[in-house]
Structures are given as C-alpha cells and as structure tokens.
Chain A
C-alpha cells in the first residue's frame, strides 16, 4: 500500500487479468467508522454493511461500476484503490527502447492544479503539458484531440440513426453516449436490453489508444510495438476500461497503463518538478490539438453541447453563430432540452449525471416512452471534473469536527440552491 495525494493505493499493475475480477476500490475494514457515507453515494448498492457493526465492503466486483464516488466521499479515508501503474510508468520512462506517450483527459487540467495549491478548478493545461514533457514522456498527445474525433464519429452516428428511422434494421433511438466507463458497465450489467441504444463509438481514450499505435506511429515514424500508451484520467473506472480485452484493435494492447489525476500529481512531486513555475506549453501535433468542444467533455452536458455544435451545422447546413448551447449545461441531476435546428426541426435531448438518475432515463427507454434523440450519461455527479480520480475535496477528508461542519454546510448549501 502506498499513500498518493491522501488516498491509499495497492501498487498492483495487472496485465492480461480479467478486469471483472479486480476490486478497483475497496474499504479498509480497520479504518471504516460505519458512517454509511459510501452507501449513500453508491449508485448500484455494491457497497454495503457486512456485519452488525456496520462495517462496509464492496461485496463483489460485478456489482461495482468502479466510479469511486464512495472513495471521494469517505470522511475517514478508509477506501483504497486496487491498482496503480505509477511504478511501471516510471520504469518505462527510464527505458530508452520504449516510446512513452501521454493521453490526459480534459478534466485532468481542471483538477491537477489543486494538488499544487491552486484554487478549486484552476485551468492548468499548459503546465500539465510542460510537466509531462519534463517527466520524460516522448510524445505529449492529448485525449482532447480524440474528444473532437469522438464528436465526429458519435455525431455522425446520431445523424445516421435519425435518418434511418422507419427503415429495416434501423438502429434504435435515443442514442446514449458511451464515453463514461462507469455508465457503460452499468448499461451492460443492469440494462443489457438497451445496449443497441448505446453509441458504438469507443470513448475518447478508447480511440486515442489505437490511433496512437497506428496513425501516431506512422506520423512519428515510430515502431508501434515500442509505443507505451499512458491514459491519464480524472477517473477510477477508466482503469477498468483500459483492461477491457476487446480494446486491442491496434494489434497490441491499445492502452498500456491508466493513472488518475492524483497519481500524476504524485509523479510530478516525486520527480521534483516545481509545477507552479512551469511555463505553459502546447501538446505535440497530429494527436494533440483540440477545441473548446473537446474540453467541455469534462462536465455534465458537455458531450451533448459539443455534439450539438456539429449536428446543428450538418443538419441545417448553416453555420452555428454562437456555439454556446447553455440549456444543456447541467450542474446536477437530470436536465432535458429541446434544441431547434433549422431545416430539421426539434432535437430532443436529455443529460444526466449519477447512476440513479441514469436508471430513470433507462426505465423510460425500456418502457418505450422516451421522447429523446440523444441522451448523455455520466456516472459522477456534475461529470468528469468531479471524477473519483481527482484531488479530493478538502472539506470531506478534513478532521471529524470539520467534516461535521462540512456536512451542515452542505445541507445549508442544498437549501440555498433550490431557493
């Protein structure tokens, strides 16, 4: 066990292991105080009391979607992560025969700064690229590039589905997003009958892995077998996704290692890099450049807004003058909107974060009563910026006194928001 940015990790880097056999998060029974915070935030009920004292455990990997909200919300730091590739990545960075490429997710750059004293949510994208370069990554590729590619693929798929309605073998509507690994496992586990509604697109990281080892290898004249791809995510469930056996379309493992924002922060500190004095740098070309549509993937409603920025132009044949489609921006819970597109009509969309909210929308689809064309789902409330791989909210892990105050404050705030 190793402590990384306030969270315990098992230094275990599985290879060729069935990810369904791994506990990506688990409760340390000796630290559990039986407060039940984890059970409250768990979408599926995978974390429950195992004895009369109320000590909680994740009962089985099959029931856990690996979102890790239990870990983020445990006031006692009693929940640990089951795997960490940090040691292996340091070894690969030292190895001259390995070409290590970075693939950081959009949301990482809105959380990483917090580990270095910056205010909550500070954008540190430029310093992040510089830090990756200093750590010795050979190519600073960026998952935001494939977020843009995802929009092209997933937006095109949506338009195809809309156009093929009424024809034979038409793929069903609504189309669900498929970027969030917690949500994808949730759909596979609890709503397998709705899998035809799930976009067939891989997530942005599911796309960047194989592109790095094919297109990226070609663009940089690198032998694909030498490339080691490191997925850097605000997320715990992305570790599960990285190990999915089917993600090997490049002829190799598409994603060799997955770490989260906390682990990247720890690597930067271990390497003795002074993060706050770093210059702002850009990622490397071909698989690095991105747009605002890619960065908003990190927040609930962002994938929807980015997809609509494409769909609007394709369906109407007109330029979208103001790219801000604020009606789909979602702070928490479920949000629905009608978006008028000239020459097409009304695009009906829904956005939800939190798996309990996702289930409500799924039940509508199952009952044949869902009026939507496109539904975006994220497991973590508010989206990836609140992913369980991000630096922790200091209020939650504070001392018992402060965490009690934090709880009272949360109630207070909750009232304020609805008022």
Chain B
C-alpha cells in the first residue's frame, strides 16, 4: 500500500494518540494513579514502618535524644525548652514586609 501525505499525517496523529493513551492506561493499571511526588511520599512512610531501617518510631524513644536531655549528664540537662535550648535551638523572626510594600508602591503586582 502506498502512503500519501494525508495518510502519513493521519497515521502520525493516531500513533501520537496511542502513545499518550497507552501511557495513561499503564499508569492507571499500575494502581491508584501514583504520581512522582506520591511515590516519594510513599517511600518515606514505608521506611518509617520498616523496622530494618528505623527500629524506633517516636522521637522521645531515640537513645541519643535521651542522652542529650539526660537530667544529670545531658548537654541539654534542663530538658526541652530549657536555657541551653533557648540559647542554641530557638530563634526570633524579622518583619520583612517593608521591601515588599516598596515593590507594590512601585507598581509591581504580587499575590498577597
């Protein structure tokens, strides 16, 4: 069978259609439409539930957490939110609205 120009373009169109559709069909078949981000999220929860990777699942059970907060010998012996914690592990925040206000005054449109 001889392929003319019109026929060739039509065939290309159909093939493209199938390419797009088949990708979707497979995806749907694979299960519950897991996307790229969903796959990574699932992997995180699988690791959390896998006792070969994480023996413990609660922060307060981590032996190194117990060590650092130990009432007698711990580096943070006053416990969470104690003085040393406040010095090293807590912070303060800065109002940064002025520069955005200046941008808006210049005529820039932002979402907020």
Contacts and interface: CB of A to CB of B under 8 A. Distances in A.
A249 interface: yes
Given A110-B44, A405-B20, A152 B60 contact: yes
Contact of A59 (B37, B58, B90, B108): B108
Interface string A328-339: 010110000000
Given A309-B58, A412-B24, A110 B43 contact: yes
B49 interface: yes
Interface in B41-100: 41-49, 53-65, 67-69, 75, 79-81, 85, 87-97, 99-100
B91 A246 contact: yes
B36 A393 contact: yes
A44 B111 contact: yes
A75 interface: no
Given A123-B46, A195-B93, A292-B56, A111 B64 contact: no
A359 to B, nearest CB: 6
Interface in A294-316: 294-296, 298-300, 302, 306, 309-310, 313
Contacts of B15: none
B87 A299 contact: no
Interface of B: 19-20, 23-24, 27-28, 33, 35-49, 53-65, 67-69, 75, 79-81, 85, 87-97, 99-100, 103, 108-112
B44 A386 contact: no
Interface in A375-419: 381-383, 385-386, 390, 393, 395, 405, 408-409, 412-413, 416-417
A156 B81 contact: yes
B44 to A, nearest CB: 5
A192 interface: yes
Contacts of A299: 40-41, 44-45
A313 B33 contact: no
A149 B75 CA distance: 12
B39 A120 contact: yes
A64 B42 CA distance: 30
Contact of A62 (B44, B45, B85, B96): B96
Contacts of B45: 296, 299, 329
A21 to B, nearest CB: 11
15 contacts: A59-B103, A62-B99, A110-B40, A111-B40, A145-B62, A149-B68, A188-B95, A292-B49, A292-B57, A296-B44, A306-B59, A309-B57, A385-B40, A386-B40, A405-B23
Contacts of A417: 33
A120 B36 contact: yes
Contacts of A211: 75, 88-89
Contacts of A359: 111-112
Contacts of A44: 110-112
Size class of A's contact patch? 35 or more
Given A215-B68, A329-B45, A386 B37 contact: yes
B91 A125 contact: no
A116 B38 CA distance: 20
Interface string A282-300: 0001111111111110111
Contacts of B27: 409, 413
Contacts of B64: 145, 148, 285-289
Given A45-B110, A59-B103, A313 B43 contact: no
B43 A323 contact: no
Nearest to B75: A215
Contacts of A151: 59-60
Interface stretch (A81-89, A93-101, A196-204): A196-204
Q: Pick the 6 closest A-B CB pairs, nearest first.
A: A292-B48, A121-B43, A62-B99, A385-B40, A292-B57, A121-B40
A393 B33 CA distance: 16
Given A185-B96, A331-B38, A313 B54 contact: no
